[in-house]
Structure 1
Amino acid sequence: MDCAHDKGAPLRIGLDLFEAFPGDKRIYLQWHYLEEGYEIESIFIIYRIEDGKSKAIGAYSVYHYLYGFPMWGIFLDTTCSNGERYSYYLYASDHPVSYFSDTIYATSQQGLPDPVPPSPESLWVEQGDSSFTLKWISPQGHDSLYYIYRKDSSSTRWYTVLYDPIKLSNPEYTLEYVSDTYFKIAVFVDGVLSLPSDSVEATLQK
C-alpha cells in the first residue's frame, strides 16, 4: 500500500491510527480514537482530495455515554478508479471545537482482493423474560473480537453495548434487563473491523 502522512492539527478526540486498505475499485478506511467527552455524538466527515480540491464523500458517527473510551471508525469508498492515487483525511467534530486529521494515501488496483472483511451473518435473537441472547454466524479467520451495536426502538442513535471490543469464544452474547431495541454486530478479521451485519429487532416478551 502506498501510504504517507501530512502533519495536521492534533485531535482532542485522540486519533492514534488512520489507515487505508486498497482493493479493486474500492478503498477501505479504518481509524482508532479516544473520545474525551461525555454523552456526545462523535461525527467524522471523510474527505477525498481530487485535482487539488477537497470533497466530502461520506460520514461516520457513534454516540458515547461515558468518558474516555477508545473507539473504531470505518468507511468504504466505492467510487475509486484503479491506478489512481487517492488522498484522504478526516474532519472530526468534537463540540465545541473541531479538528482535521493527517492525510493518508492509497491506490486501488485491478485484481486486488476485497479489503473489506466479511461481516457476521444470520444474526438472530433468543428472547427471555428479561434478557436477549444474540446469536450469529462468524466469518472464517475472525479474531473473536466483536462490537455489538444497539439502538433503542424510539431512538435514531446507534451506540456500542460495551466500549472495548468484546472477546467471545462462541458467537453469542446475552444482555439483561434491556428494553425493546435493535442490534447489529461487527467483527475484527486480521485486525481490521468489518462493516456491521444486518440489524435485527428484539422485543421483550409480555
Structure 2
Amino acid sequence: VTTALEETWGTDERLLFLGEWCKRYERRHVWGAREHQTVRFHWDDRDKLHRDYDYLESLHHSLLSCLASSLNELHEVSHTVRYWQILVDPWLMAWVGIVYDRWECLRLAFEEHGELDVVLLEEPASVDPPFSGFEFVIDACTSDSWNQSLCRRILESRYSDRGRFRRVEMDCRPPETPQPTFSKRRNLPKRIAAGVEQLLGKF
C-alpha cells in the first residue's frame, strides 16, 4: 500500500504500508482492524542519510547542467547554468529528494518483503500540473493521488517482474469545481500546515 487511498487496500488481505503516511489517524478504525505491517523508514539509518545527502547533491548538480542545456535549446537562448539554477533550483532540489525517497521506500519494501501484490489506480487522461514549485511540494507532501501516480511509475518501470499488479480504473482526484482566483492564496496557511504536518510524520 503506497498511500492512504483505501481503494488500493484490497478487501481483507494482510497489508504492508509503505510508510506512516498511509495510516491516517482519523481512519485508524479501518487500518487498525486489518493485519498490517509498515516498511521501516530508510532514513532512520542516519549513516545512510548522510551518504544519500552527498549522493543527491552530486545528482542534483548533474541534473541541473542537463536541464540548463535542454532549456537553452528549447527556448533558443544561451543562459548560464547559474541563470537556470536561480529559476528552477527550488523545484529541482525538492523533486530530486522526493523522487529518491519514494524510490528507496519501494526498494526497501521489495528487498525485505519479497514479491508483493499491489493494487494500482489507473491515471486519469490528464492531470493538472502544479501551479508553482511551492504547490508541487505541497502536492508531494499531501496529495495521495500524486504520490500514488509517482509510486505507480516506479513500480511499473522497476518492479514489473517482482510484483503482481492489479489495476483499478478510477479517477482519484476530487471533482473539479469552479474556484475563485484568490482561493489558493486564501487557503495557503492551511495548505502549509497540512504539508508540514505530513512531512514531519516521516521522521
* Bigger share in helix: 2
More contact order relative to length (CA 8 Å, sep ≥ 6): 2
TM-score by length of 2: 0.21
TM-score by length of 1: 0.21
* Bigger share in strand: 1
